Each structure stands twice: as structure tokens, then as C-alpha cells.
Structure 1
Amino acid sequence: MNTGKSDFDFLQEIGVTTELVETSGIPVDTLREIVKDYKHNELTLLDEAEYIAKKIQRCNAIHSVRWRIKSHSHLIKKYSERSPKKTHPKNTRK
């Protein structure tokens, strides 16, 4: 899925470095698909977050509930950082 933007422009727009993408092993086209799907479902995610927060607020022991959904760029950064192909020191056994 190519929307006319170069990979570099796309990554720059969402605030992800090429190094992070290379390290994660996730193809840029996959990231484009994730962003497209996320944007398509963003209103549904907002509705669900609000619904769950309201349900939790009804509990007597709950004082306050805050909710949010991540921006698509923040989601992509987290996904790339936590990719299974990326080796984290705390995930390796000695």
C-alpha cells in the first residue's frame, strides 16, 4: 500500500526513525497498513474507551477514571520498539 509518499516522508510524518524500523524488522508497508486501520477505527476506539471508563466510574470504590487513546504515531513507535525481532537485553537468557 503506497499512498504516494516516500517511505522516508511517511516515517518522518509519524516521527519514527529509519533506524528504529530497520531494527524492528517491520516493513514500512505494514506500518502504513497499521496507520490506515488505526485512523479508520479511531472513533470506535474513542467510543469504547469512554464506555469502559463510564462503567468503571460506577463502582463505589472508584474515585476517578481517566481515559485516552494513543495517537497513531505513538502507537507505531511503541509497536516498533517492542517488536519480537528486536533484541532487548532483559529478554535474552544467559
Structure 2
Amino acid sequence: MGILETLKTKLAPAKDKVSDLAHQHEDKIEKFGHGLDKAARKVDERTKGKYSDKIESGTGKAKDALGRLTHKDEGTGTDESTGQKDQGTMPPAS
């Protein structure tokens, strides 16, 4: 077993706990997402649009991460351990 697998195994309970808490406080996290948008607009204003693309990219990544935390029970189609698309099974033909 490599170092990465060992770390994943040891950190799995903490990850589950964080995900559970995030799922319980989804409404507060959603408000935080709105705060991210507000902060991004303010920073963009102050920098006079010089870094708009970087601000937009960073805000999007942060909101995606928040979304992944709060929606752990919903199938994302990605195996988190490998980052690969989940192949799943085909539904039966009717």
C-alpha cells in the first residue's frame, strides 16, 4: 500500500464527518457562496477589472468545491478516490 492510499484510508473518517456537517448546514454554505460572489465583485471593482478572469475562475472553483461538499449523497458521476468518471451500469432495455 502506497503513501497516498494510507493517507486516504486514515483521512476518510474526517472527510465523511466534514461532508456530513456540510450537508447539515447546506443553507449556511449557500449563503457563503453568495458572499463569495459579493467579495469577487468588490475585488473586481477595486482592481478595475484587471484580474476579472482570475477572480471569476477562483470564485467558480471555490463554489464547485462547496457544492461537492454539500451534495456528497447525490451521484456526481465521478469516483472521488480516482477522479475518474464512474462507468456505472446501463439501465435494462425496455
Decide: shared fold, TM above 0.5: no
Higher helix share: 2
TM-score range, shorter chain: 0.3 to 0.5
* Higher RCO (CA-CA < 8 Å; seq separation 6+): 1
Q: State the TM-score, normalized to the length of structure 2.
A: 0.41
Q: So what's the TM-score if we normalise by structure 1? A: 0.41
The structure carrying a bigger strand percent of its residues is 2
